[in-house]
Amino acid sequence: MENCFENIGIIFNSEIENSKKTAEIFHSKLMNSKIYSINELQNDIDLAVAIGGDGSFLKVARYYSKYSTPILGINMGRLGYLAQVKPDEIDEAINKIKNSQFEIENRLMLTAINKTALNDIVVKGEHCARTATLDLYINDKLLCSYVSDGLIISTPTGSTAYSLSAGGPIVSPELNCFLIIPICPHTLNTRPIVIPSDEKITIKNHENSKLNVSFDGQVDIVVNSEIEIQRNENNAQILILNQQKDKFYDILKEKLHWSLSPKK
């Protein structure tokens, strides 16, 4: 059976070892596909195959979210929470694509200042090496002031990324919520919070100085003393080959080494 996608873009990252070679292997086995560099993304495709690590996947997902183009990740990196297919699983992945054995998951995204993020938006003070006092508003009401190295505003997809390292909870990507996690707060009673995804988040620098803002750790900008963060109107479309509903938990066990007996 021929695959249900007419135009498939196989996207490699030249900074990832063997990424282009893997793209060529994928291309040789799949009709109606073309190879593109991650720096030369094209709009006229209906499936994007991102070959690299999670960082490559994030860049591709941000770009194609506005076109509702599904993304499949081939993991050439270290962890691979988002890029689910390993290089030795390419034949199996192609067979599933050809036989429509997949699901497409909608993943929440964040937006601020006409930029988007699939994992998180990180807000820090003007001088990143110093702590800052950041005022957090939810729906224009002041919630609290954080004395910390910054704030992470995370999607459920990003809950296994920077948010997890900063002490945030792991959240199923099926939930419609956002996480707010302080980075190295200076008070012990400061805790992460989870809010509905339809609420507006505003962060102001208490000192009225500038803010450093990072989108998925890849796009960095400096803004004046205030930034407003909301749910993006478009979702990322992630193609999931394993149709089991508990695949997310399988990945957690594999990547975080859960359920392993302690070594003697």
Active site residue ranges: 54
Q: Which of 72, 49, 78 is nearest to 254 (CA)?
A: 78
- Per-residue CA distances from 200 to 2, 147, 178, 186, 227 (Å): 44, 21, 10, 25, 11
Residues 6+ apart with CB under 8 A from 251: 81, 84
- Give phi and psi for 77, each to the nearest 5: -100, -150
Beta carbons of 86 and 22 less than 8 angstroms apart? no
Beta carbons of 162 and 217 less than 8 angstroms apart? yes
Q: Which of 32, 56, 59 is nearest to 44 (CA)?
A: 32
**In the sheet where 71-75 sits, what is the strand order?**
33-37, 8-12, 47-52, 71-75, 236-240, 103-107
CB 103: neighbour CB atoms within 10 A? 14
